[in-house]
Amino acid sequence: MRSNFAGHTALAAFHVAAGFQRLTVDVDLITLARVELSRAGSVEGVSLIDHTADAGFEVEASCLDACLARAAAGMFAMMFDPPNRMDRRSQRAVEVELGADCPEELMVSWLEELLYRSEVEEVFFLRFDVETVETDGLRLSGRAAGVPITPDLEPAGPGVKAVTRHGLRVERAGEGWRARVIFDV
């Protein structure tokens, strides 16, 4: 397995001082990206883009994990303004495990799953933890936490109906990752 942290696998060499023995071990970098929606409703690395009838944004991040987490936070920031205060006892969390053949499909699956879970469980997600690993495809292990959707929750814009594949991009950009996602609103 290989983590997607800037596309590199770390090599750690451990030396055993007994005689001439030398042990070299490949160690996978394990990354966990955490993004939390700010009280202002802004998400670092997420920029809204103009689109004729729909809504969308571009995301920049240091690794694929952070790109996925920022995209999730950006999607929920488009729909609701974060509450002024949150009762920790009322927070809810969901675990998400997904697989895909490419980063674009992983992005769509992740966002669609969160959108579905938000609607079914009536939760406005505010915090996103993502870890991806590459094996024969891509695997995502994620967690989203938030608060119940109540009448007090202020809409920030129209609700997202679906994640589209129109103009979808998730790609390496220099030392990091960049994505473009359009939503049907």
Confidence category of residue 62, pLDDT binned at 50, 70, 90: very high
**Does 18 map to a domain?**
no
Least trusted range by pLDDT, from 42-46, 103-107, 115-119, 162-166? 42-46
| Alpha carbon distance 112, 56 (integer Å) | 14
| Alpha carbon distance 171, 185 (integer Å) | 24
**Does 152 map to a domain?**
yes
**Does 19 map to a domain?**
no
Confidence category of residue 176, pLDDT binned at 50, 70, 90: very high
**Does 140 map to a domain?**
yes
Residue 163: give the domain boundaries: 32-184
- Calculate the average pLDDT of the chain: 81
**Does 17 map to a domain?**
no
pTM of the model: 0.80
Is the pLDDT higher at 91 or at 84? 91
Question: Is residue 8's pLDDT more than 50?
Answer: no
Give the chain's domain count: 1
**Does 161 map to a domain?**
yes
Question: Is residue 125's pLDDT more than 60?
Answer: yes
**Does 21 map to a domain?**
no
CATH number for position 164: 3.55.10.10
**Does 1 map to a domain?**
no
N-to-C CA span, the chain = 37
